[in-house]
Chain A
Amino acid sequence: MTGVTAAELTYREAVGLALAEELERDESVVLLGEDIGAAGGVFKTTAGLFDRFGAERVRDTPISEQAIVGCALGAAVLGMRPVAEIMFADFAAVCFDQIANQVAKYRYMGGGQAKAPITIRLANGSGSGYASQHSQSVENWFLNFPGLQIAVPGTPQDAYLLLKWAIREDNPVLVFEHKSLYGMRGPVATGEPAFGSSVALREGGDVTIVATQLMCRRALEAATELADQGVEAEVIDLRTLAPLDLPGVLESVARTSRLVCVQEGPAAGGWAATLIARVVDEGFDLLDAKPRLLTSDETPVPYARSLEEAGLPTVERIVEATLAAVNQ
């Protein structure tokens, strides 16, 4: 089956299409997860796959995240290409050992005797009212594990391409799907994803705003407002956090001289602070203003709409932080 060319799909449908195409293409691909089979997944990303590919290829598992991830690793090392689903990314805490100590380190500890082509999909992020234990953006938990690659698709196109890339990749990849983007529509075309390279969603010469996923959507809205005020912002979607596209960001900052990083999730130990540190380290002379770090507040994600929304970087806060950078 070939991919759909520039069809309008939702982010959710793009995930499902990528899974279907890879299941079709390679019989070693197998999906593992809770309620991904007969139920089609709690976010319906795997809808229809169970009927089409059967219970052996689309495997419903018990609620056992350690077993899901560890089993996927063992199957990967023995020649399969498993795609494990963590229903809500927060549950990665339940199987942290499996991801951090087993998946990330397996190949290295053995001195490269085996490869582990495992993909782990995780439904991530806030903005949908799932409260503290089902809403955190947890991608930053995994930045400290050389051996893991991390994709954070922010569009239907990337949800499709990055997932297909991850499944074909011979190494572990965590793919964080943003729950609040599942309904987003956009064109999806076949093609080769450039894994590890960022993309400018909007070009501009006055300031560079770097973000991922939901924050990219807000940064684009902010950029429109900023344009009304005469400020042209370049909005960069990182697309992957490991590898982190430092050269791409430096190239943009070389033109704009100003940097704003917008991160969903608290600041400590996150990609945004790391990126700023690296830009300062390697590109200090490019900067005409101090880099700005805009993140979620230092709280667990609360439930009520007013509470949750107030804690996230809003369009208004992005505009504010960007103007501060531009006007310094």
Chain B
Amino acid sequence: LSSEAHTSGDATAAGGDHSAAEIAELLGLYRRMVEIRCFEDAVERLFTRNLIRGSTHLGQGQEAVAVGACSALRPDDVMTCTYRGHDAVLAMGASPTAAMAELLGRRDGLCGGKGGSMHLTDVKNGAYGSFAIVGGHLPFAVGAALAGLRRDEPLVSLTFFGDGATNIGAFHEALNLAAIWRLPVIFVCENNLYGEYSPIAATTPVTRLTERAKSYAMRSVQVDGNDVLAVRDLIAEAAAEARVGGGPLLVEALTYRHKGHSRTDPATYRPPEEVEAWLERDPIVRFGGWLIERGHIDGDGLAEIRDAAAATVQEATEAALALPEPDPETRFEDIFA
């Protein structure tokens, strides 16, 4: 597994000549990223109108990690993610209407209105949960991989978490267990440089989080998390190796959230020049530019995709807003099977 091929940060380095099917797939990745961006923008607007309760954690800017990684999984694989997980759940193929309905606390939401923004779950699409205790889901991901060993072809358990999670005990226990049992777990750290409001340098003594894998004799690789093809190709290769006994892998995907940590956070602690530099590396803009450069589509074509994605999210939002809230009696359902 070569980290070098995936860390150039240059989207133009990825790919070669592409067939029509491959081009359709590439355009699909673009569409999915744009749709997620539109979704998050819509969520932000609904929040300011107080139509979404509690807290939410937006993922604008991190779409390439979710879309790149999830596009490399197979239908039977298992994805788990964090409370900043709208992007990952949508990337697995969740219905935007059902996802938006869940965020709005409506009847036909993905979780029947019991989970909300922080617990989006869509098991039929391989999204086994969004977990809101930092790092608390990493042991779950290890267990999913353990269960998968019983299948003819082992499933891959891919789990997303933030840079902040690398300082919590469950992270270390999970990496250790996955390593000693050589389980097919791909640990994907979305390093967006801030654990909630704190810059990573203030909380973590290593600058490369891939270092964390060393004490578990685990392979690790850093990837440009704003390069959707670099992420996709890396995860595809890692998954193929994991399926044949290659053991676990820690991936550090360097990315950046465009917004604050949560609704109450305007993110004023971030230097303006840092924000500006990352906005220039916007994964959607970069990938769009690459698609045009490669001659796969022109600017008008991309605009059409963006319009279509925006329309999908708009329709999903309207459909979700038209749904009633869940029947209060349903609160007693789903405690036990």
Contacts and interface: CB of A to CB of B under 8 A. Distances in A.
A2 B155 CA distance: 34
A149 B170 CA distance: 24
Interface string A252-294: 0000000000000000000000000000000000000000000
Interface residues of A, number: 42
Given A111-B334, A113-B111, A170-B337, A74 B141 contact: yes
Contact of B334 (A71, A74, A108): A108
B78 interface: yes
Contacts of A115: 337
Contacts of B169: 66
B298 to A, nearest CB: 42
Nearest to B337: A115
A220 to B, nearest CB: 33
Candidate in A101, A111, A115 with the most chain B CB atoms within 10 angstroms: A111
Contacts of A72: 143
B121 A102 contact: no
Contacts of A296: none
A128 interface: no
A70 interface: yes
A8 B24 CA distance: 70
A273 B301 CA distance: 69
Interface in B30-75: none
A114 B169 CA distance: 26
Interface string B148-186: 101000010100000000000110011011001000000
Given A112-B112, A170-B337, A67 B133 contact: no
B306 interface: no
B260 to A, nearest CB: 24
B306 to A, nearest CB: 32
A126 B153 CA distance: 47
A73 interface: yes
Contacts of A170: 336-337
21 contacts: A61-B177, A64-B173, A67-B177, A70-B170, A71-B143, A71-B177, A73-B143, A74-B147, A75-B147, A77-B128, A77-B147, A78-B143, A78-B155, A101-B136, A102-B131, A109-B129, A110-B111, A110-B115, A112-B112, A112-B337, A113-B124
Given A74-B157, A98-B170, A108-B334, 18 more contacts: A66-B174, A67-B139, A67-B170, A67-B174, A67-B176, A70-B138, A70-B173, A70-B174, A71-B143, A77-B128, A98-B136, A106-B129, A108-B335, A109-B111, A110-B114, A110-B121, A110-B334, A146-B335
Interface of A: 28, 30, 61-62, 64, 66-80, 82, 97-98, 101-102, 106-117, 146-147, 149, 170-171
Across chains A and B, which 7 residue pairs bring their CB atoms closest together, nearest first? A70-B139, A74-B143, A112-B334, A78-B147, A111-B111, A111-B112, A110-B121
